[in-house]
Structure 1
Amino acid sequence: MIESIRVLTVAAPLAVGFDHASHTRTHSASVLVELTLASGHRGWGEGAPRPYVTGETLDSAVDALVTAAPDILADAVDWRSVDTVVDSLASIDLPMVFGGRYPAPAAAAAWETAVLDAACRVAGRLMSDAVRMAAAPSWRPPEPVPVSLVIDLSRDVTVTLGRLPEPSRAALRHVKVKVGRDVDDAVKRVAQAMSHLTAETSVSVDVNGAWRADQADRAASRLAELGVAWIEEPTSARDWAGMARLCRAGVPVMLDESCGGEDDLRRAADAGAATHVNIRVSKCGGIIPSVRLAACADALDIERQLGVQVAEIGPLWAVGRALATSLTGWRAVEAGRGDEWFLEPLTEPAFAVDRTRHLAAPLTGPGTGITPTPALLGIARPRAQWCAGDGSWRAAS
């Protein structure tokens, strides 16, 4: 069924940088999987390895794909229909298969999303259909969804919100404010945001694990007084005791880097250390693990946000769009800023968000409905290629 696999990496320069407490990003960092079937249909998948999130790098993700993919190809995927493909993938712990001793969720996400994209294209189905088949907790026919505004550390809060026309500010449903290690500056940035917004717009703060426990404790009461909706990843990853202390003080806490899957979420729930969780496709290992984590959050009465990796170049934001527009229950949805980060479109159709009404529309498929542009393929670095004829990997051209 699979004729060939090609693995590429992309480090596209950003027209506008993105800063948060853990990293300053000036380029994308994605691994792409191009899957060509005997029918001629192609599926595209993407993973965004981030050392500070999952410990993966571009090179380790490529190595994981090249090492594990031939074994997975043999018998693991039943290609008879989209349903059987979803069932096949759901039966495998892909992050562990690709990672071996340690999970490799970005590599798994690149592989899984390519397989699902190819299967949906063959059947003429939308990617949202694969979401429904993955036992999604609250599926609906795709419809536009409100998306958050994320203000990173490179942007002044007052200037960013002040530039928005009043109708556009009023249409915002959620604003995330990135902050650094300085607690006083963090409180100032949140207060500035709230001074420009109505009570209908919630505001959260994302620390990216930068605060010590004592800093988080000191900031909590001040941010609670301002009415912050939640603090995302306030202290070091999996500091269950510190985050539980904030929750007991009445400050909602969202897990991000601390939650790679259901086991982490259950541990946090048992410790009373989380009220919210940020679900990101690459961090979780694909669409199916993301859907399962959403269902787990619902069962634990933990609210959920659909997040993104900074500088997703195509397949990742597209499958995220499928999750965002076909599942209900998101407390907030991030869509990324592909229209601002890259100098020219990297996909056809191009990344698009209604920045006036802050809405993301569904993609139309089949599959994700997108293909890489010549601009994207022109900057992609081919790393390895597998062909069914000889069943082995070789350097890609």
Structure 2
Amino acid sequence: MFEAALYKVDQPMAISFSHAAFRRKNADSVVLLLQTSGITGIGECAPRKYVTGETSDAVLHAAAQVDLSFIYNRIFAASAKQVVKTMFENGTANYLGLPQSNSLECLFELAILDFLAQSEQCSVARLVADALNLTTLLIEETEYTFTHVLNFETDAKQLSAELSEVKVIKIKADRELKKTLSIIEAVRYQSGPVPLIIIDANMSWSIETTIQHIKALSQYNINFFEEPINKRNFIELAKLQKDFGISIMLDESLCYFSDAEEAVKLCACDAFNIRISKCGGLLKSIKFIQFARKHKLQYQIGVQVAEVGPLIAAERQLALLFKDFFTIESGQHDRFFPDMVITPVPEIDRNNHTVLIKPVTGLGVSKTSLLSQYTFAGCIG
């Protein structure tokens, strides 16, 4: 039988982070520990009400009702590879008897993948690759260039020449065109014409404001507009693409597989932002990536602001499974949190703008004593 513990991690951030949909000063994650036979699997979800409608309190309440004995029997009903294959094909929530919730599914799936991979003495990436017959797995120590993210509170005058080395820049845009222009002008002045630039409005612009921005920014070679208007307005997104020749990346509008199908049907986007928690776990994220590749869409591996550890490790395992994402977001945990609830801390090299992914067992992280300082939401079962 599993022993399980839930934590609500609302760790204060050393610096806040703002975008048009939310200003964040604290983490808002749920962490799950699943232990048996001397092995502890660790999982995390980062519920965001403005994305999937879920909250951490709702996830905690639902998790407390989960039948752990049923999950235990499912996990040990077959080999680790067969369990992963069945979760992928049938859905993790369906296989484990979980309520349908992207955050809850992600939380349990990551803990179980971590547990199973440790049991097999391999990485999560290796276990998943073998289970799903993926042939693209990178097994050596690997470096990826990450996206440099600027929020709309960035002081354009303080942007430094280090941007000259950055390959992908995401700008969290304001509703005010003047503010957006001041940042993009400074970025282009510092970085020149090379970087790929993403403007992310987090669903905050009206159609009129979007058109105003598109016209004003046309001279700056913007590669993607990410979620400029209200969520899942695929018809208008398709019209914006057709009328102005811009490229759209979906994020908040891409939480369920039906979203991907509808967006492609209506020709509403050119790229997906794949974030594990909002997509419902690592295995569903793989399905989104495979769908994007099938329909010749670009994709990035993204993060949610203020993830506290296991999700960061999971995103890096996902990156090992595929070679053709156009960028990966590193997160800013090194800036947000002086201490973390996991160890070792996933590395970020800000001098070279790269993340380093090393061979690990499981997700490659375990809890620290800091986790116990946050709300212990109880045991399950």
Please classify the TM superposition score into its range, dividing by the shorter chain length: over 0.9
Q: Aligned match of 1:109 in 84, 106, 111?
A: 106
State the partner residue of 1:361: 356
1:149 corresponding residue in structure 2: 148
Counterparts of 1:136 and 1:209 in 2: how far apart (Å)? 35
Match of 2:311 among 316, 322, 326: 316
Question: Partner letter of residue 256 of structure 2?
Answer: G
Distance 1:171 1:80, change over 3 A: farther
1:322, distance to aligned residue in structure 2 (A): 1.1
Pick closer, same or farther for the CA change 1:321–1:279 going to 2, 3 Å.
Answer: same
Q: Aligned partner of 2:258: which letter?
A: D
In structure 2, the residue matched to 1:389 is none
Q: Distance in 2 between matches of 1:238 and 1:308?
A: 20
Cα deviation digits, residues 49-106 of structure 1 (max 9, x gap): 1101111111111122222343751643346543123123214434577774xx4111
Question: Does the alignment pair 1:262 with 2:257?
Answer: yes
Structure 1 counterpart of 2:119, from 122, 139, 163 = 122
State the one-letter code of the partner of 2:249: M
Matches within 5 A, 1:165-314: 165=162, 169-248=163-242, 249-314=244-309
| Structure 1 letter corresponding to 2:108 | W
State the shift of 1:157 in Å: 3.7
With structure 2 as the length reference, what TM-score do the two structures score? 0.93
**1:208–1:95 distance in 2 versus 1, CA, 3 Å:** farther
8 Å CA contact 1:11–1:379 kept in 2: the answer is: no
- Runs (5+) with no aligned partner, structure 2: none
CA distance in 1, matches of 2:341, 2:297: 35
Q: Tell me the TM-score normalized by structure 1.
A: 0.89
Distance 1:250 1:54 in 2: 29
User: Once the 2 structures are TM-superposed, how far is the Cα of residue 289 of structure 1 from its aligned partner?
Assistant: 0.3
Matching residue's letter, 2:367:
P
Residue aligning to 1:139: 137
Deviation at 1:19, TM superposition (A): 0.3
1:329-372 alpha-carbon deviations (Å, 9 max, x no partner):
11111010111101223321123201111111114321011112
Preserved CA contact (<8 Å) 2:164 2:190 = no
- SS of the aligned residue for 1:278 comes to strand
Q: Distance in 1 between matches of 2:134 and 2:259?
A: 20
Deviations 1:118-140 (A, max 9, x none): 11111110122134234558433
Q: Partner of 1:231: helix, strand, or coil?
A: strand
Name the CA distance, whole Å, in 2 between partners of 1:291 and 1:250. Answer: 29
SS at match of 2:198: strand
Q: Distance in 2 between matches of 1:51 and 1:215?
A: 24
Residue 185 of structure 1 aligns with an amino acid whose one-letter code is K
Q: Take 1:283 and 1:72, find their aligned partners in 2: how far apart are those partners?
A: 25
TM-superposed CA distance for 1:385, in Å, is 0.9
* Secondary structure of 1:305's aligned partner: strand
Q: Which moved more, 1:359-368 or 1:230-239?
A: 359-368
Residues 1:57 and 2:51 are matched in the alignment: no
Q: Per the alignment, do residues 86 and 95 of structure 1 end up closer, same or farther by CA in structure 2, a change over 3 Å counting?
A: closer
State the alpha-carbon separation in 2 of the partners of residues 340 and 226 from structure 1: 29
CA–CA separation in structure 2 for the residues paired with 1:259 and 1:89: 21
Cα distance between partner residues in 2 of 1:261 and 1:299: 17
Q: Is the 8 A contact 1:313 1:338 kept in 2?
A: yes
Q: Give the Å deviation of 1:214.
A: 1.5
What residue number does 1:373 align with? Answer: 368
Distance 1:158 1:307, change over 3 A: farther
Give the alignment partner of residue 81 of structure 2, picking from 80, 83, 93.
Answer: 83
Report if the CA contact (8 A) 2:137-2:320 is conserved: no
SS in 1 for 2:5: strand
* 8 Å contact from structure 1 (residues 149, 174) kept in 2: yes
- How many residue pairs get aligned? The number is 377
Structure-1 separation of matches of 2:284 and 2:42: 18
Structure 1 runs of 4+ with >6 Å offset: 96-99
SS of the residue corresponding to residue 144 of structure 1 reads: strand
Query: How far apart are the structure 2 equivalents of 1:157 and 1:318?
Result: 32
Deviation at 1:155, TM superposition (A): 2.3
Deviations 1:148-197 (A, max 9, x none): 111112322441x31x54xxx33311010001211332233222212211
Q: Which runs of 5+ in 1 are unaligned?
A: 387-391, 393-397
Distance 2:218 2:76 in 1: 51
Out of 71-80 and 276-285, give the one that drifted further.
Answer: 71-80
CA contact 2:2–2:72 (8 Å) conserved in 1: no
| 2:327 corresponds to which of 322, 325, 332 | 332
How far 1:247 sits from its partner (Å)? 1.1
> Which secondary structure does the structure 1 equivalent of 2:261 belong to?
helix
Alpha-carbon distance in structure 2 between the residues aligned to 1:93 and 1:158: 48
Separation in 1, partners of 2:351, 2:303: 20
